[in-house]
Each structure stands twice: as C-alpha cells, then as structure tokens.
Structure 1
C-alpha cells in the first residue's frame, strides 16, 4: 500500500522539491529525465522510448492533496495519459512511501 509521508505540502514547496531532481522513476522502474520546468509545466523524456511528455504539476499536486488511494489509475481524473509518471514523481520526491 502506498501512503503519504507529508500529508500537507503547498504547491510552491512541491515545485521546490522538483527543482532538486533531474530524473525520477515510475513505480515499475521506468526512468524519466526532466527536460525543463516552466512554471507549473514539467517536460520530461521517458528514457525507454525517448518520447518527450508534459505534465501539469498543479494537477499532480492536487491529486496528492486529495487522494488517499495512490494507485496509478487513481490519477486519471487529474493527469490524463500521464498517471504512471505522476505517481512515480511523488514516489521519487519521497512524498509517498511504497
């Protein structure tokens, strides 16, 4: 079961944590390399496919604040098509414990 480590974190503090990493992994081990952080928009590359993707970090933060069940599918209303990287990012930031 995946649980929250830090029950409350502001969006600004969340962004500051992301500024300190250059890569993150999904729960299944896929590696993502951060290309840029522009405001709330995170651009990253999935290394296994070399495909660049984007994710709205406001939505990831909102998912973290609102969810209590941290399964990949739980992120679907927040980050369409980027659920696995969103969960992986939270795990890599040590905001969640697996």
Structure 2
C-alpha cells in the first residue's frame, strides 16, 4: 500500500518503497515517450515532460482522495505526516530529467 493510515484515521504516512515503485513506473512511461520522440526526431524537454506528468497526476491529492473514499475519512494534504520527505522523493525523481 502506498500509504499507511494511522489507527485514529487522522493521518497518513507515505510508504517510501511503494512510493518509489510508483515513481519508477511513471519514469518508465516518460522514458517511453522520450524514446518515441527521439525515434521520430522530434524535439522534447525531458524536465518539462516529467514536471507536467507529476503535476497532472496530483499524486498526493490522489492518495488522500483514495483513502477518504475507501476509509470514510476527511483527510487533507496537511494530514500526510511525511509530506516534506515525500516531496523530496519527487524532487529527486525530477532531478533525473533535469540532466538531459
């Protein structure tokens, strides 16, 4: 599970391993797009593609929404206990595409 809900159902903790696996799947999709663009000899900005993908996914909002629906909770972004750390994981992910 990508996050763990605490016993009182008032906070979530993003699970590092599962979150990193999800980012790896996102990365594979971006890499596939880049390969197609290269093959077609079209220009691309890898950093921009990665940033747009992350922005469109709204990862944290999707996690919160999923738990709210499944658990009948009313959690908000502020209820993610390790949000800053998870944001660092996303920043590390985006850094990979800044080097192209």
Fold-level similarity (TM above 0.5): no
When Rg is computed on C-alpha atoms for both structures, the one with the higher figure is 2
Give me the TM-score of the superposition, normalised by structure 2. 0.28
